[in-house]
């Protein structure tokens, strides 16, 4: 499993993973510095009683979604977020909603039979204050929550919006690993990719004992026409990203340049990117935010089979409010989704029902968000 020793101690059967420090990754060095500005905010800190009370009137499910029943002391987060639910669209399983717990049991819910993966998957999720979290999902449907930092971050808020994974390898193209990278094994899928409706989805997990950051090159039909920066989860629930280039080269970057986090495991599950801006609606940036350039595409939005997809990169905002989604792309509930920010650091965006999108960085390090925020790999159910 993608677990730290502390996480292993909390869940029997998980295996520990070795770590060795390393300097900054090449892909980390590519990100440019930007202006430092507006203060970020964190999610409200709430107790179990108030959170449970807030879930008394959950949002009505959209047709095609199946309600998820939190277990082991977990409950709906409420506070304007959706109740947890799941749907399967063309073989890609999507989650939505938010949960919390006052306990220490990490098993939050079990997926219905039709929404379970055929292999183990590890999917990044958003926790309190934009900190990194991870869902480990087994073929039996058991979903376990991990936290990169303090377990209290997961207890107080675990966001499911934007989490997705491939149910199986059907229609996926196997990826050829290089530069000393190999399959992670341990019940996880071999790396593969699939294109559907202009979106390339990845799956599987990889590992390396070396220092080369390029694990594979995408085949010609699966490459973007722009540079895409997509968040992924590394071993120990640590934050990382993929730098995906038009020539198909894929680089792995680890937050803080801690290369050992990537060496001991990179999950590709849940990672996706748009091949082009075709059929996307451009977004009008505000409050000083501008398109990042440097080979990335401008921020834009598209709805595919009911799921809203964002793409592009931006920087230089004077406050967190970056843009307003057009009416047809707005959620009916508050949505918190993880994003990649400068130097492979972590952030998240808050999308409100009025369409306002605000950007925040982990740990209130606002310069990371204003220097660079990628919207690639961001999706949600309206």
Topology (CATH level 3) of domain 174-274: Immunoglobulin-like (2.60.40)
Q: What is the pLDDT of residue 63?
A: 67
User: What is the arithmetic mean of pLDDT over 308-330?
Assistant: 97
Write down the pLDDT at residue 21.
21
Per-residue pLDDT tens digits for 314-324: 999 999 999 99
pLDDT at 291 exceeding the cut of 80: yes
Flag whether pLDDT at 310 surpasses 70: yes
Candidates 181, 190, 314; CA nearest to 251 is 181
Q: What is the pLDDT of residue 124?
A: 98
Residue range 175-233, pLDDT digits in tens = 999 999 999 999 999 999 999 999 999 999 999 999 999 999 999 999 999 999 999 99
Give the per-residue pLDDT at 364. Answer: 66
Residue 146 has pLDDT above 90, yes or no: yes
Task: Say whether pLDDT at 58 is over 60.
Answer: no
Which part of the chain has CATH 2.60.40?
174-274, 281-380
pLDDT at 367: 84
Least confident window among 3-7, 104-108, 302-306: 3-7
Give Cβ neighbours of residue 13 (< 8 Å, ≥ 6 apart). none
The whole-angstrom separation of Cα 97 and Cα 81 is 6
Q: Has residue 8 got a pLDDT over 60?
A: no
| Stretch 353-368: mean pLDDT | 89
Tokens of residue 173, six digits: 């193209």
The pLDDT of residue 19: 25
- Across all residues in the chain, what is the average pLDDT? 87
pLDDT band with cut points at 50, 70 and 90 for residue 366: confident
Name the more confident of 272 and 42.
272
- Report the percentage of the chain scoring pLDDT > 70: 83
pLDDT of residue 56: 32
pLDDT at 135 over 60: yes
The predicted model gives 95-124 an average pLDDT of 98
Examine the pLDDT at 4 and tell me if it is beyond 60: no
CATH topology of domain 281-380: Immunoglobulin-like (2.60.40)
Predicted local confidence at residue 2, as pLDDT: 63
Burial 16-53 (b: 16+ CB within 10 A, else e): bbebeeeeebebbebbeebeebbebebbeebeeeebbe
The mean pLDDT value for 363-377 works out to 89
Lowest mean pLDDT among 7-16, 18-27, 64-73, 132-141: 18-27
pLDDT at 331 over 50: yes
* Angle of CA points 97, 195, 265, to nearest 5°: 65
Q: What was the pLDDT predicted at 55?
A: 35
Q: What single DSSP character describes residue 81?
A: B
Which residues partner with 103 through β-bridges?
none
* pTM strictly above 0.85: yes
Q: Return the sign of the alpha-carbon dihedral for residues 211, 217, 218, 224.
A: positive
pLDDT at 43 over 50: no
DSSP 334: B
């Amino acid at each position: 499993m993608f677990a730290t020793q502390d996480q292993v101690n909390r869940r029997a059967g998980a295996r520990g993973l070795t770590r060795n420090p390393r300097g900054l990754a090449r892909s980390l060095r590519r990100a440019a510095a930007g202006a430092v500005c507006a203060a970020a905010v964190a999610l409200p800190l709430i107790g179990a009683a108030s959170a449970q009370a807030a879930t008394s009137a959950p949002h009505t499910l959209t047709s095609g979604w199946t309600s998820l029943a939190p277990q082991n002391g977990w409950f709906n987060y409420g506070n304007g977020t959706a109740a947890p639910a799941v749907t399967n669209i063309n073989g890609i399983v999507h989650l939505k909603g938010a949960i919390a717990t006052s306990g220490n049991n990490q098993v939050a819910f079990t997926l219905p039979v039709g929404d379970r993966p055929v292999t183990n998957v590890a999917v990044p999720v958003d926790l309190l204050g934009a900190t990194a979290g991870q869902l480990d999902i087994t073929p039996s449907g058991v979903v376990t929550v991990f936290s990169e930092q303090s377990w209290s971050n997961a207890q107080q808020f675990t966001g499911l919006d934007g989490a997705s994974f491939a149910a199986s390898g059907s229609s996926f193209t196997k990826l050829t690993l290089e530069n000393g990278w190999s399959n992670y094994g341990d019940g996880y899928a071999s790396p593969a990719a699939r294109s559907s409706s202009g979106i390339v989805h990845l799956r599987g997990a990889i590992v390396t004992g070396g220092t080369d950051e390029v694990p594979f090159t995408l085949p010609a039909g699966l490459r973007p026409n722009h540079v895409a920066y997509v968040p992924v989860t590394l071993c120990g629930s640590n934050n990382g990203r993929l730098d995906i280039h038009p020539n198909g080269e894929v680089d792995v970057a680890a937050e803080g340049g801690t290369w050992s986090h990537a060496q001991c495991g990179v999950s590709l599950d849940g990672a996706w990117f748009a091949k082009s801006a075709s059929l996307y609606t451009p977004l009008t940036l505000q409050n000083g935010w501008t398109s990042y350039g440097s080979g990335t595409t401008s921020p834009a939005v598209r709805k595919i089979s009911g799921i809203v997809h964002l793409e592009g990169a931006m920087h230089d905002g004077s406050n967190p409010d970056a843009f307003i989604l057009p009416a047809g792309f707005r959620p009916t509930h508050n949505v918190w989704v993880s994003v990649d920010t400068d130097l492979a650091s972590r952030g998240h965006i808050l999308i409100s029902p009025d369409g306002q999108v605000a950007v925040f960085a982990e740990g209130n390090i606002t310069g990371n968000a204003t220097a660079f925020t990628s919207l690639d790999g961001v999706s949600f159910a309206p």
